[in-house]
Amino acid sequence: MARIVGAITTSHVPAIGRAIARSLQQDPYWKPFFDGFIPVRKWLKQVKPDVAIVLYNDHGLNFFLDKMPTFAVGAAAQYHNADEGWGLPTLAPFTGDQDLSWQLIETLVDEEFDITTCQEMLVDHAFTLPIELLWPGQQRHVRTVPVCINTVQFPLPSAARCFKLGQAIGRAVEAWDADERVVVIGTGGLSHQLDGKRAGFINKEFDLMFMDKLPTDPLWATRYSILDLVELAGTQGVELLMWLAARGALLGEVSTLHSNYHIPISNTASGLMLMENA
């Protein structure tokens, strides 16, 4: 049977793509960020996951304000990347895993999640940059299943609902009749706000508390409403919903193998965590 080997949560700021394209990994501004991924890449080489389920939020490439599903799951053989307006290099298509996609879709619907099934799906920087950070230049070596969560158009799904989504994904993988190793990736955040009177807002204290609680007490974060999370983490900081969903997929005892926190990256608090599923 399939099993989830662990979860990785990381930021996906578009400026990361420009830094990679310009080979700025050793630049003093970027080095603390990029160095954080070295232990995670070593772990990935050891556990050799076959498939990555990527929980992310779309930024207008695949969905827009006129049609914004709460939850969407990709079921394509390939996922094409395009630039949604940041001037980022476009990467080659990502290979999908349709068998796992339909396993997730059927399980989630059975567990009463109303999802949008996408047999064609574009993926943006929130999907592509974490893959490139974790497997530099080797993204085709891991199959992918994109799961998109709305963090753009209100009403947003609650933190509790996103955590339950992750739990359902974990159960779906455990029930998948395949001898495959799966890693779950949650992307976005941490605290940041790009517009309005609080543009540039970062809440280091809340970020560090969230990272500390996530492995052992993830329900701590579910007590907050979406408006609470906007107040605490910023308008775009609600992307931590993807972190909660990724943590929810780990159904066993969870241990933190590595974490990194660095500010600022393009006015964003950048977080990275590697959690292993016992």
Three-state DSSP class for 256? strand
The Cα–Cα gap between 200 and 198 comes to: 6
- 125 carries an active-site annotation: yes
Asked if the bond preceding 155 is cis, omega within 30° of 0, the reply is yes
Q: What is the DSSP string of 166-193?
A: HHHHHHHHHT--S--EEEEEEE--SS--
The span from the first CA to the last CA of the chain, in angstroms, equals 15
- Helix (H) / strand (E) element for 232: namely helix 226-233
Strand 78-81, strand 94-95: pairing: antiparallel
125, 141, 258, 262: which one is catalytic? 125
Strand 143-149, strand 71-74: pairing: antiparallel
AA identity, residue 46: Q
Least Cα distance to 170 among 95, 253, 245, 223 occurs for 245
Q: Which segments of the chain are extended strands (E)?
A: 3-10, 51-56, 71-74, 78-81, 94-95, 116-118, 122-123, 143-149, 181-187, 254-262, 270-277
What residues pair up with 67 in beta bridges, in sequence order?
64
12, 59, 192, 262: which one is catalytic? 192
- 258 carries an active-site annotation: no
Catalytic residues: 125, 192
